[in-house]
Amino acid sequence: MYFHSVTIDLDGTLLDTVPDLAESCRRMLLELNEPPRSSTEIAHFVGRGIARLVERCLTRERPPEAGRLAAAISVFQRHYSAVNGRHSRLYPGVLAGLAAWRASGLPLGVVTNKAAMFTGPLLERMGLADYFACVVAGDTTAHKKPHPEPLLHACRQLGGTPARHLHIGDSKHDIEAARAAACAIYCVPYGYNEGEPVDAADCDGLVCDLLAAYRLALTHPDFEAK
């Protein structure tokens, strides 16, 4: 198997965004007179998009009512717009890995459950936007990961096919999306997995960082760097 295109998850794979998310949640909960959440809790809440993050922050004995949730999401978005990218950090190996993938000539994309209004600015502020030929955000398609549609959409945008596409992520949602789309899947162990660590048995490769992902791809006998 060799790859014609590669997509990478954003939160927990490229960037540690919990500091920004936690600060936005802190501000939201304070404004709504709700009890605070710890950064550890926030990290476990990340992975299904902003609406689910806010819902989890508000859920104590029972989930919030629809109107209260909608109002809280609006408050969160206002605060997140102010801090997005301010405290986020690149994970080790990201820049070296992206440079290696780009040098191979393979088109790269981002597939994330983060809304487009935050994804583009974050990539720009962190100096990553120019690496990617396409960005599939959480509201680009009708479904988010773990549905396969975002990955299939990225494949079309990158001019590849699922059978020769590699996705790199950090959670079971990335694994499920890739399996459903019939893509290869590598996982990093350091990201946001909702308390369920990824297992090497569940993916095609468990790698320490993006550079290791590139090196693993090179071990496939029919991998071709263009």
DSSP 8-state class, residue 162: G
Cα separations in angstroms, 186 against 60, 121, 172, 199 = 35, 26, 11, 11
Tokens of 116: 């487009």
Within the chain, residue ranges assigned H as helices are 18-31, 39-45, 50-58, 66-83, 94-104, 116-125, 149-158, 172-181, 210-218
In 3D space, the residue among 118, 76, 88, 77 whose CA is nearest the CA of residue 17 turns out to be 88
**Please, which residues bridge with residue 108 across strands?**
6
Q: What Rg, from alpha-carbon coordinates, does the chain have?
A: 17
> What 3-state class would DSSP assign to 77?
helix
Catalytic (active site) residue 11: no
DSSP secondary structure of 2-57: --SEEEE-SBTTTEE-HHHHHHHHHHHHHHTT-----HHHHHHHTTS-HHHHHHHH
Q: Of the listed 9, 16, 174, 204, which one is catalytic?
A: 9
Strand 89-90 vs strand 15-16: parallel, antiparallel, or unpaired? antiparallel
Catalytic residue numbers, as ranges: 9
